[in-house]
Structures are given as C-alpha cells and as structure tokens.
Amino acid sequence: MSKNKGFSDTSANRYSLALYELARESNCLSKIEKNSHALLKLISSNKDFNNFIKDPTVTRDTLSSVIEKITKSFGLEILFKNFLNFLISKRRFFYVQRILKNFNEICSEKRGELKAVIKSAKKFTQDEINKITQELSESFKSEIKLNYTHDQSLIGGLVVQIGSTMIDTSLKKKLQQLETRMIEV
C-alpha cells in the first residue's frame, strides 16, 4: 500500500528547493529570504490577506495585481515576485505559506543552523533566552535558531527539543508519569 503524502509534503519541498536554487544562483539568497520572512509576517498578521490568498474564487489576475502592489510596497526582489506569479499561474498560491516556511528552513539548514524549541513554565527575559541560545550553540558546536514559548501548563521545569532530541523536565510530565505508574499498580 503506497502512502500518498499529497502536495503539502512533496511538492512544497520541490517548490521551496527550486526557489532556494534560483536565489543562490542569482546571488540574492539573503534578499529573497528577507522577502520571504516579510511576506510570511504579512500573511500571519493580516487575517484579511490570509483569507484572501486562500479564497479559491479569487482570479489569477487579481492575485497577480495584489502581488504587484505588495512588490512595490515592500520592495520585493524581482525573482521573488516572478516566483510568486509562477505559483499563481500554476494555481499553487494557496500553498505559499507552507512553501515559504519550507524555503526558510532550507536556508537555515544550508547555513548549518540547528532548530531548538524551548517551552518553560517560568517566563524568561530576552537576556536569559540569549544566554540559553549561546550555551546551546557552544554545546552543539553549531548556530542555534531558538523558538521559545512560555507555557504555564508545564507547572514547573522546561521542555527542550533540538532536532530529534527531546528533554522534558517539566513537572507536568513527572505528574503524568506518576499517574501512569499508579494506574498500573
């Protein structure tokens, strides 16, 4: 039985990798990465725009004219604008958010950065987050791209995930383990 991964996993990777290769060959990778971050920020912060790009009734011409206006407003790289218009022409603009997130991950990976996720019960200051990032970078001998979230449901402790390695020292996890042991007895 074959497993169909669908557009979201396979095609998004291809589009993202194609954008990466084009940007690298054109020597504008950092500019396109910044453009990508800016567009993702626009999509996540503007609910109307997010709904607009996911609306199947919006025509290609309308989407293209909106991209043209965004290009002028944000000063997007021509290659990036052409890529977005290519997605529109192939009726793949609906997946632009997934493609651009994947593109940013490829850029990060190619630079040798490791992704780390930290959740803590205590709210950390920016100085504490910077210190943790620095210590992780030294420990793993690689630049760390840290995603920090404050999660009060942990009650106490931390959850750290770097790559496939996860360390869960939260009080919530310990209570769950204790509950499981009590049920087994």
pLDDT at residue 163 greater than cutoff 80: no
Same-domain pairing of 105 and 123: no
Average pLDDT of span 119-123: 90
* Contact in structure between 154 and 119 (CB atoms under 8 Å): yes
Same-domain pairing of 18 and 78: yes
Q: Which residue type sits at 86?
A: F
Same-domain pairing of 44 and 94: yes
Same-domain pairing of 96 and 10: yes
pLDDT at residue 2 greater than cutoff 90: no
CA distances from 27 to 22, 33, 99 (A): 9, 12, 20
Q: What is the pLDDT of residue 6?
A: 56
Structure token digits, residue 163: 């790559």
Domain holding 23: CATH number?
Answer: 1.10.520.20
Where in the sequence is the domain holding 14, given as residue range(s)? 6-109
Does residue 1 form part of some domain? no
> What is the residue-averaged pLDDT of the chain?
90
Average pLDDT of span 109-133: 90
Same-domain pairing of 77 and 33: yes
Per the structure, how many domains does the chain have? Answer: 2
Q: What is the pLDDT of residue 143?
A: 87
pLDDT at residue 63 greater than cutoff 90: yes
Does residue 30 form part of some domain? yes
Average pLDDT of span 132-156: 88
Does residue 165 form part of some domain? yes
Same-domain pairing of 97 and 137: no
Average pLDDT of span 28-49: 95
Does residue 153 form part of some domain? yes
Distance CA 148, CA 136 (A): 13
Split at pLDDT 50, 70, 90, the class of 8 is: low
Q: Which of 109, 127, 154 is where one domain is finished?
A: 109
pLDDT at residue 154 greater than cutoff 60: yes
Same-domain pairing of 33 and 102: yes
Q: Which of 68, 90, 109 is where one domain is finished?
A: 109
CA distances from 153 to 85, 150, 156, 176 (A): 43, 9, 8, 12
Q: Kindly state the DSSP code that residue 153 receives in the 8-state scheme.
A: G
Q: Which of 50, 74, 109 is where one domain is finished?
A: 109
pLDDT at residue 125 greater than cutoff 90: yes
Q: Which residue type sits at 12?
A: A
Helices 12-25 & 78-89 angle (0-180, nearest 10): 150
110 HSE (CA, 13 A, CB side): 15
How do residues 73-108 score in pLDDT, each as one tens digit? 999 999 999 999 999 999 999 899 999 999 999 998
Pairs from 83-87 (Cβ < 8 Å, separation ≥ 24): 83/19, 83/22, 84/39, 87/15
Which residues are registered as beta bridge partners of 162?
A: 116, 165
Q: What is the pLDDT of residue 166?
A: 87
Does residue 11 form part of some domain? yes
Q: Which residue type sits at 78?
A: I
Does residue 32 form part of some domain? yes
Global pTM exceeds 0.85: no
